[in-house]
Structure 1
Amino acid sequence: IVDSLDAVKFESSSDTDFSDPNLAVMCGKTGLTAGSKSWFYTSVDRCRTWSGPFEIPMFDQLGIAARTDWIVESAESATMLLTATKPDGGEGRVFACRTDDGGKKFRFLSWINSAPKGYEIMPSSVQLTDGSILTTVRCRGSRRDDCWIDLYKSAGDAKTWEYLGRPVPDTGDGGNPGSLVELNDGRLVITYGSRKIPYGIFAVISEDHGVSWSNPIVLRESFGNHDIGYTRSVVRSDSKLVTAYYVNDDPDGERFIEATITDFG
């Protein structure tokens, strides 16, 4: 998070080739509630150098809080899922937007859930071979310890959504976002940090395109405190899963960034 837009000088327009195999995209934001603005950077040399920042429009919302979540569709087209404030200025609710000109302009597509009771934030999405999109969202109810991860599906080009279920019913004190990926054999995996005892980095697996999910699988135990997680997972060419996160092993110690490689067989 950047404290002020005074520290951000936007470039005029993006001209991104989304089909470039070396492309990386990273989003940034100033905050989470009313007044928050967001942008993105691009790299075509595997994160050695970056172009940007390029401004993400406000879409007539009080605040936009981006967390990198893009679905590439062609050289010029990509769908991005973002978190906007609710009408009262608090966080938040998730929506989809699309660019068809390499990131120069974006158009609003749809709300995933326009009126969550608490908040729904930090989407993580995959597109299946049939073209449908699955998205996990970090959810919180009326209490800080009432947190979970929900799953939504769009079979309508990100213009309409249906609720699929709750793959992770309890993520603990304050909650945690999930990272949704598709393995090379078609199974889906959500990794996440659990902020309830026992703390740790966990995964759940679906073999039926998100209809049902396994019990949690421990990827990494944590012996510190609840301030862990925010996983990001990618699938290697050998089908192994690389999951990065932050963690700590001492209740009074400092957090650090770590990665775990998992072979789900």
Structure 2
Amino acid sequence: MPTTRRSFLARSAQLTAAVVAAPWISRAAEAKATLLETKVISQQPEFYHGWPTVARRRNGELWVSWSGGRESHVDPFGQVHAMTSRDEGATWSFPRVLLDSATDDRDSGVVETAKGALLVTTFTSLAYETHLQKASVFEDLKDTGWVSKRMPAEQVAKWQAAHARLTDAERKAELGEWLIRSTDGGRSWSTRIPTVVNSPHGPIQLNDGRLLYAGKQLWSKERKIGVAVSADDGLSWQWLAEIPARKDDKASGYHELHAVEAANGTIIAQIRNHNPANTGWTLQSDSTDGGRTWSEPRPICYGLPSHLLRLRDHRLLMSYGYRRAPYGNRARVSADHGRTWGEEFVISADGMNGDLGYPSTVELADGTLLTVWYETMAQPKLAVLRQAKWRLA
């Protein structure tokens, strides 16, 4: 249709209103994405794979770590697993168990430090206890409805046996946020190191040499969100600063942070939000003083949780799960150090339900991007790890 002056002015007014309503969404020239390949990379269909992170070492080796050895989203069996690729994700090694505590080890982040150490993060949880208590009650009452359909008697017995590995006091003592560390390329690993906070994708390396971990205090009374730092390459961690909550928000509604340092020195932390305002969205807080103080979070977009990456051209990339139809994973790019974000583009949109996501992304040698996430599929019935290779223009 021909453009009239009236239609042009009306369209201009709509665009202006959109920018005013959502100033964090850039209206500049948008990046374009081309999907090159999507495939399943996990190799153990008998296990549920959850909450992975991918990292690329300076020697080009890729690492993926995740919570493996599981039979469901919540259970007492979680372990920290990892596998590697030396051909940019074309093939992957068979998984290794890096950590197996006597309770549920959940999530897993991985990062290589500037000094060459590999850090893998996790946290321990007793969330399975509620499910076990319900199952045990139904079993005692011979309630064949719930038990036979949801947890057979032999499965209840298996969970109870795993639960009994520790006493009540020992289980509570196990709760924590943890890191294991390798200085020989992943051949051997330290004992667990407490990290003060936890978040699925772990800490980041700052330009000043410190490691910064944006996350949540899971087992403290306050359960604050904020950042911890390490000045000794991950051997010890100290609380640095709290990230403030928005007016009318509760910090208890904030979860699963990840951070990145922009080329101009701004540190950006994104937050999974479950407060009534912008529930299911990613929020963002910024620090311009090395993480000592943080801005009040602002909404970015629907989707969670996010992973942040600084590309070689200094643009920032956020990738995040999309847990409504069409289920999958999406991404946005910022060309102004995180002040605004471009329109979203789709990495995957063929998910069966919302039990998926936690994507993380690395940039390969040729500029191609590789994103890894977990996803429940019809076959195999347990959650798998999927990978996409794609390119930005």
TM range (shorter): 0.7 to 0.9
Q: 2:226 matched to which residue of 1? A: 95
Percent identity reads: 21
TM-score by length of structure 2 reads 0.54
| CA distance 1:56–1:209, change in 2 (3 Å) | closer
Question: How many Å apart are 1:20 and its aligned residue?
Answer: 2.7
Instruction: Please state if 1:149 is matched with 2:303.
Output: no
| CA distance 1:149–1:76, change in 2 (3 Å) | closer
Q: 2:346 matched to which residue of 1? A: 218
Render the CA deviation track for 1:143-194: whole Å, top value 9, x for unaligned.
Answer: 9x931101111101100011463222x23xxxx3101111211221111111
Unaligned ranges ≥5, structure 1: 9-16, 58-63
Q: 1:12 matched to which residue of 2? A: none
**Number of aligned residue pairs:** 241
| CA distance 1:153–1:40, change in 2 (3 Å) | same
Residue 111 of structure 1 is aligned with which of 238, 242, 254? 242
Which amino acid is the alignment partner of residue 122 of structure 1?
Answer: E
Whose radius of gyration is greater, 1 or 2? Answer: 2
Identify the structure with the greater strand proportion. 1
Measure the CA separation in 2 of the matches of 1:246 and 1:177: 12
Q: 1:20 matched to which residue of 2? A: 115
Q: How does 1:1-265 map to 2 (within 5 A)?
A: 7=102, 18-21=113-116, 23-31=117-125, 36-57=175-196, 64-73=197-206, 77-85=210-218, 93-113=224-244, 116-117=249-250, 119-142=253-276, 146-163=279-296, 165-168=298-301, 170-171=302-303, 176-250=304-378, 253-265=381-393
Residues 266 and 337, structure 2, Cα contact 8 Å, conserved in 1:
no
| CA distance 1:230–1:119, change in 2 (3 Å) | same
Identify the structure with the greater helix proportion. 2
Measure the CA separation in 2 of the matches of 1:32 and 1:136: 26
Measure the CA separation in 1 of the matches of 2:389 and 2:113: 27
Measure the CA separation in 2 of the matches of 1:46 and 1:259: 23
SS of the residue aligned with 2:270?
Answer: strand
| CA distance 1:94–1:224, change in 2 (3 Å) | same
Unaligned ranges ≥5, structure 2: 1-66, 68-74, 78-99, 104-111, 128-171
Question: How many Å apart are 1:74 and its aligned residue?
Answer: 6.9
Measure the CA separation in 1 of the matches of 2:190 and 2:283: 34
Residues 223 and 251, structure 1, Cα contact 8 Å, conserved in 2:
no
SS of the residue aligned with 1:30?
Answer: strand
Measure the CA separation in 2 of the matches of 1:99 and 1:165: 27
Residues 181 and 234, structure 2, Cα contact 8 Å, conserved in 1:
no
Q: 1:60 matched to which residue of 2? A: none
